[in-house]
Amino acid sequence: MAGAEGPAGRQSELEPVVSLVDVLEEDEELENEACAVLGGSDSEKCSYSQGSVKRQALYACSTCTPEGEEPAGICLACSYECHGSHKLFELYTKRNFRCDCGNSKFKNLECKLFPDKAKINSGNKYNDNFFGLYCICKRPYPDPEDEIPDEMIQCVVCEDWFHGRTAFKNQRLNTGSQSDCKLQELQAKHFIKKDAATYWPLNWRSKLCTCKDCMKMYGDLDVLFLTDEYDTVLAYENKGKVDQAADRTDPLMDTLNSMSRVQQVELICEYNDLKTELKDYLKRFADEGTVVKREDIQQFFEEFQSKKRRRVDGMQYYCS
């Protein structure tokens, strides 16, 4: 019947069409995100020996320290080696934190990477994030009961995460200064203090007053890190990307370098054959304007392997 459509046709319409470019771009995006968060942290050595690390990727183990117990945080390496099969909360990054893995907060676990730890790390700061709860609403993220899509925003001071729709009021500092102390100038303008978060410009840290009195105030409030340009998550992510790029190797070149000259030539010839045949195979679909499906690719490689076996089986070897 004209216009009739079989099950295969309907199935192809239901299947999402994804191009190779889409796959590569998504893979690159995921890799960049992983490099940004994890690249600045050591995945093999416990960070405890470094003391309170300026900024690192952190996790909380719900299996070892569930809600009701004392909060604890573990470094990237310990999340792999000591808590690989446990339920973890990813805390993104935290500043000035020392790994707790295996200390007195863990009743039945000894750290495999650095067991000789103090009972507690008194300099660490904890919040509800260590139990998988965020924002003033104290809810998990993602929240299975919340159907409204939302972004989470991290406070630069307490480093808790808040829903974007929480009542944040934009307040920008007027950084034009007529006196030696910017804080005194702002206080003289009688700004109304409100219990609300503020969004500040990208380079706001460089605008903070660093006079003697203000630096003392930052110290008294335990927020001296606000004056440190390298305290930012962005600085940490950039460092991770640079470190990862320096360590990244090309697996193809590594493989070629490990081969003899004859093996290299054979591999390159095989690659060129694959490239040529795949290009010709896909060109048929492009000319016909049809979508390449998974079965088509599977069929191509099955036929390619079959041709390769026939070539190998048909070779004649001679002894000289």
pLDDT in tens, 118-168: 999 999 999 999 999 998 889 998 888 888 888 888 888 889 888 877 655
Co-location of 233 and 269 in the same domain: no
> Do 215 and 222 touch, CB atoms closer than 8 A?
no
Cα–Cα distance for residue pair 134/140, rounded to 1 Å: 6
Q: What is the pLDDT of residue 250?
A: 59
Q: Which helix (H) or strand (E) holds 21?
A: helix 20-38
Co-location of 102 and 236 in the same domain: yes
How many degrees, rounded to 5, is the angle at CA 99 between CA 96 and CA 101? 160
Co-location of 178 and 46 in the same domain: no
Co-location of 112 and 171 in the same domain: no
223 belongs to a structural domain: yes
Q: What is the pLDDT of residue 179?
A: 52
What mean pLDDT comes out for the span 70-88? 95
Per the structure block, which two tokens stand in for 213?
């009195």
- Nearest-Å Rg of the Cα atoms of the chain is 29
Any alpha helices (H) in the chain, and if so which ranges?
Answer: 7-14, 20-38, 76-81, 182-188, 204-207, 212-220, 233-247, 251-257, 261-288, 294-313
Chain centroid to CA 126: 21
| Per-chain mean pLDDT for the chain | 80
3-state class (DSSP) for residue 162: strand
Chain centroid to CA 73: 18
Per the structure block, which two tokens stand in for 253?
């070149």
What mean pLDDT comes out for the span 169-198? 57
1 belongs to a structural domain: no
- Domain carrying residue 220: 152-157+165-228
Co-location of 224 and 177 in the same domain: yes
Cα–Cα distance for residue pair 59/69, rounded to 1 Å: 16
Cα–Cα distance for residue pair 188/250, rounded to 1 Å: 60
What mean pLDDT comes out for the span 76-100? 94
Per the structure block, which two tokens stand in for 92?
């993104």
Co-location of 279 and 196 in the same domain: no
> Do 215 and 227 touch, CB atoms closer than 8 A?
yes
pLDDT at 313 over 80: no
220 belongs to a structural domain: yes
2 belongs to a structural domain: no
Co-location of 215 and 239 in the same domain: no
Q: Is 181 exposed, middle or buried (0-12, 13-18, 19+ CB in 10 A)?
A: middle
Write phi, then psi, for 165 (nearest 5 degrees). Answer: -80, -5
Co-location of 124 and 49 in the same domain: yes
181 belongs to a structural domain: yes
Q: What is the pLDDT of residue 249?
A: 60
Co-location of 42 and 124 in the same domain: yes
Most confident segment among 58-67, 229-238, 284-293: 58-67
Q: What percent of the chain has pLDDT over 90?
A: 33
Give the CA diameter of the chain: 99
pLDDT tens-digit map of 189-218: 665 556 666 777 778 888 899 999 999 999
Number of domains within the chain: 3
Co-location of 70 and 101 in the same domain: yes
pTM of the full structure: 0.63
Q: At which of 178, 195, 228 does a domain end?
A: 228
Q: At which of 196, 228, 260 does a domain end?
A: 228
196 belongs to a structural domain: yes
Co-location of 233 and 264 in the same domain: no
Cα–Cα distance for residue pair 88/83, rounded to 1 Å: 8
Q: Is the peptide bond before 142 cis (omega within 30 degrees of 0)?
A: yes
pLDDT at 83 over 90: yes
Co-location of 239 and 279 in the same domain: no
Q: What is the pLDDT of residue 97?
A: 96
Cα–Cα distance for residue pair 70/174, rounded to 1 Å: 42
281 belongs to a structural domain: yes
Any alpha helices (H) in 189-232, and if so which ranges?
Answer: 204-207, 212-220
> Do 76 and 43 touch, CB atoms closer than 8 A?
yes
pLDDT at 229 over 70: yes
What mean pLDDT comes out for the span 256-275? 80
Most confident segment among 7-16, 89-98, 260-269: 89-98
